[in-house]
Copies of this chain bind each other. A is one copy, B any other.
Amino acid sequence: MVNKIRFERDNVIRVASQLFWQKGFYATSTRDLQEAVNMRPGSIYAAFGSKEGLYSESLKDYTVQMKSQIEGFLSSADSVLGGLRAFVENVVIETKDCCPSAICMLVKANSEFSEKHSRLYTLSVELAAEFESYLTQLFEQAINNGELNNTLTGLEYARFFQVQFTGLRGYFNRPNVDKLAQPMINQMFMLMKTL
């Protein structure tokens, strides 16, 4: 029973997450959310406290989902870089049109909350830092595997990856540039071995 509730709670968060990711925090009204998750305001506020509370859970869940997506690609790839490349290609090319937004929800959050002392801005920074150290581990593994040379640290590769990935997703958040995606991803991974 406890598991049942947990399951449904996770489901609600996932649905809310999609809506928040697509429309952003401010442009998503509580009535939009009520309809999307099929709950009345009282239930939502009993479960999450506030719109901000539900957004917090949504953003946390987003990063969990993203990590587990990467894990998936890693486990069916023969190298760390191969897995990351498959992930990037999937995000930028394949799921481009069946995704709430081309832009990473973390990046969107980071740019939406201009008040640098607000809870949600702070949360977005924390989650981004967490994700960066996750990536750092992966790149350290790639260095150890000999996939990348060790002139850069894992953290430096992680930073490079984030800048490229964010830049690419921003660039492809517009129409009529689909054919450029694959060559630009190739360039990104080529450059990474150049560093």
Please tell me if A125 contacts chain B, counting CB pairs below 8 Å.
Answer: yes
Interface residues of A in 145-180 (CB under 8 A from B): 159-160, 162-168, 170-171, 173-175, 180
Closest residue to A102 on the B side, CB-wise? B111
Q: What's the Cα separation between A171 and B169 when bound, in Å?
A: 13
Q: Label chain A's interface by main secondary structure.
A: helix
A163–B183 CA distance with the chains assembled, in angstroms: 13
Q: For chain A, give the interface size range.
A: 35 or more
Question: Which of B100, B125, B164, B174 touches A128 (beta carbons < 8 Å)?
Answer: B174
Task: Select A168's contact among B26, B100, B163, B174, beta carbons within 8 Å.
Answer: B163
Partner of A114, one of B22, B116, B174, B180: B22
Copies in the complex: 2
Does A194 interact with chain B (Cβ within 8 Å)? Answer: yes
Q: How long is the Cα–Cα vector from A187 to B27 in the complex, in angstroms? A: 37
Give the one of A101, A159, A168, A180 with max B CB within 10 A. Answer: A159
Are A101 and B125 interface neighbours, CB within 8 A?
A: no
Asked if A114 and B128 sit within 8 Å, CB to CB, the answer is: no
Which of A23, A100, A164, A167 has the most chain B CB atoms inside 10 A of its CB?
A167
Docked-complex contact A159 and B171, CB < 8 angstroms: yes
Interface residues of A (CB under 8 A from B): 22-24, 26-27, 100-101, 103, 107-108, 110-112, 114, 116, 125, 128, 159-160, 162-168, 170-171, 173-175, 180, 184, 187, 191, 194-195
What are 14 residue pairs bridging A and B, where the CB atoms are less than 8 Å apart in the complex? A24-B112, A24-B114, A26-B26, A27-B112, A103-B111, A107-B170, A110-B170, A128-B174, A162-B167, A164-B164, A164-B167, A166-B166, A166-B170, A167-B167
